Amino acid sequence: MRPQILLFGDSITQQSFRSGGWGAAVADIYSRKVDVVLRGYGGYNTRWALFLLHHIFPLVSATPPVAVTIFFGANDAALLGGTGKKQHVPVNEYKENLRRIVQHIKNLSRNTLVVLLTPPPIDQQGRREFARSQYGDKASESPDRTNEVTGAYAEECVNLAKELGLPSINLWSKMQETEGWQKKFLSDGLHLTPEGNAVVSQEVIKIFDEAGFSDLPYDFPQHSEIDGENPEKAFLQQCAAV
Amino acid sequence: MRPQILLFGDSITQQSFRSGGWGAAVADIYSRKVDVVLRGYGGYNTRWALFLLHHIFPLVSATPPVAVTIFFGANDAALLGGTGKKQHVPVNEYKENLRRIVQHIKNLSRNTLVVLLTPPPIDQQGRREFARSQYGDKASESPDRTNEVTGAYAEECVNLAKELGLPSINLWSKMQETEGWQKKFLSDGLHLTPEGNAVVSQEVIKIFDEAGFSDLPYDFPQHSEIDGENPEKAFLQQCAAV
């Protein structure tokens, strides 16, 4: 009944309803207007995401989402020589997988607003500290990700958005503009702190507001519009269309 | 496709996806298993909620929610002599309205788990301070709500749950067991702080877990189950049933 925004991505999407999370912030700001549907899959890369496409976006869907955020790349960019090698996807394949995801969604509905998000930057020192906190002396000495390699994935994500005429959010660049981004925005060198989540929600909401989402109607009357003596009036007026 | 939990209530439900909010915490803990649908209506009492019943819970719904939280009473308990008098609903009518909401949902599906939540306690001093911060000298001197009156609504909510054999959460009592509940759990004498939200999410999740929700299956394979060389295997196994 209500329009839906679907958040499709990896752990940074899956965790986006934790305290201070960007997904919950989007759900909060459009509450009573839009439903936010969480489809985040921790550890997933774009290659595995393709297996989910027809399940998450069935072609027979009666009401396609008004918007979809596609937020992959943090795992695709895992290094072949590191602990996340299973997750690695070559950068060219990453770009083509993203293209297939976008095309599938656009086949459902040309009107769905598709927003591409790049992976956030990597704080390699933060990754090392995190690995040591988890595995002590057994922590691998070789990095699982580097900021430079992740930057190449971010670049291809933005390039694809330009090719396809889609809005994109270059988190990799954006976050690095702030002094101390390593600890301010990242909790373990990769995942987001509440401040890092706020960067994402601000950028996402900016794009959604430009598309007019804040002007969408409330589903039911605001309580200030309800006459205490004659409440049915407000509901008859507004619910007739629902 | 996924089971749904629907949160139906007033502003304390509507605001439950703010940072630290109880609704987002429920969505987070069951992510990849259940979708949490937010149906919170700021300022609403149970009398007005009845107008929404057939829209929010259509009788022809193919898949009724696995669980519904019903969380009203904070506005029903507004005093006739205060600024919220329009919202006031007599306590007996409140109980009967709640009964109608439950019966409607149970008519959809006997198997839907319905959980009743009482309104939280009222900190009258906090309400006064909030009114002065908003309206200065023009703030009304008469209270909009009292803790005692709200307690009578909480009692009827719990009585109804017992009559109908439903689980309930007596937030009014529970919160007052903690020293300093007035400022610890309430931000303006009525709405919840992050700590107050945590009380709600813990109690709600306890009931849902007892009903087996944490044992619900993940919608798609965990990334640890995916063979990097042969990813389709995990998806063929798990997605066949989806």
Reported as a pLDDT band with limits 50, 70 and 90, residue A59 is confident
Nearest to A17 by CA among B98, B179, B33, B240: B33
Question: In terms of residues, how long is chain A?
Answer: 242
CATH of the domain at A141: 3.40.50.1110
Q: Report the first-to-last Cα separation within chain A, whole angstroms.
A: 8
The ipTM is: 0.94
Residue B220 touches partner A, C-beta closer than 8 Å: yes
pLDDT in tens, B183-240: 999 999 999 999 999 999 999 999 999 999 999 999 999 999 999 999 999 998 766 5
Amino acid letter for position B130: F
CB atoms closer than 10 angstroms to residue A81? 12
Domain annotation covers residue A120? yes
Flag whether residue B44 sits within 8 Å of chain A, measured between CB atoms: yes
Amino acid identity at B105: I
Q: What is the DSSP letter of A178?
A: S
In angstroms, the separation between the Cα of residue B173 and the nearest Cα of chain A is 26
B36 within some domain: yes
Q: Which residue has the tokens 């690995």?
A: A131
Instruction: Round to whole Å and give the CA distance between A36 and B35.
Output: 9
pLDDT above 70: residue B241: no
pLDDT tens per residue, range B1-42: 789 999 999 999 999 999 999 999 999 999 999 999 999 999
Residue B242 has pLDDT above 50, yes or no: no
Strand partners, B113: B67
How close A192 comes to chain B (CA, Å)?
A: 14
The answer to whether the Cβ–Cβ distance between B31 and A40 falls below 8 Å is yes
CB spacing of A38 vs B47 below 8 angstroms? no
* Cα–Cα dist A153/A119, whole Å: 8
pLDDT for position B101 = 98
Q: Residue B172 above 70 pLDDT?
A: yes
Contact map slice: B 165-204 vs A, CB within 8 A: 194
Residue B227: inside a domain: no
Separation between Cα atoms, residue B111 and residue B65, nearest integer Å: 9
Q: Can you give the residue range of the structural domain that contains A118? A: 4-211
Q: Residue A156 above 80 pLDDT?
A: yes
> How many percent of chain A have pLDDT more than 70?
98
Answer whether B148's CB lies under 8 Å from B183's CB: no
| DSSP E strand stretches across chain B | 4-9, 35-40, 67-71, 113-117, 168-169
Assess if residue A65 is contained within a domain: yes
* B24/A18 touch (CB, cutoff 8 Å), yes or no: yes
Is residue B6 a contact partner of residue B37, using CB atoms and an 8 Å limit? yes
CA A66 vs. chain centroid, Å, equals 15
Task: Reply yes or no on whether B140 is catalytic.
Answer: no
Select from B37, B48, B226 the Cβ nearest to the Cβ of A35.
B37
Q: Is A226 on the interface with B (CB under 8 A)?
A: yes
Answer with the residue of higher pLDDT: A238 or B7. B7
The tally of domains found in chain B comes to: 1
DSSP code for A172: H
Q: Is B230 in CB contact (< 8 Å) with chain A?
A: no
The pLDDT value given to residue B157: 98
Encoded tokens for A44: 């997933």
Distance CA A8, CA A18 (A): 16
Nearest to A192 by CA among A96, A242, A126, A146: A126
The answer as to whether B232 is a domain residue is no
Does the residue A165 lie in any domain? yes
CA distance B73 to B94: 7
The predicted-structure confidence for A22-52, as pLDDT tens digits, reads as follows: 999 999 999 999 999 999 999 999 999 999 9
The set of residues, in sequence order, having a beta carbon less than 8 Å from that of B59 and lying 6+ positions away, is B107, B108
Which residues share a beta bridge with A30?
A: none
Which pLDDT value is given to residue A178? 98
Of B25, B37, B31, B29, nearest to B222 (Cα)?
B31
More confident of the two residues A151 and A59: A151
> Closest Cα of chain B to A13: distance in Å?
10
Report if residue B49 sits inside a domain.
yes
Please indicate whether, in this complex, the C-beta atoms of B48 and A226 are within 8 angstroms of each other. Answer: yes
- Asked whether residue A233 is domain-assigned, the answer is no
Q: What are phi and psi of B165, to 5 degrees?
A: 70, 35
Question: Please, which pLDDT band fits residue A240 given cuts at 50, 70 and 90?
Answer: low
**B223·A1 Cβ contact <8 A:** no
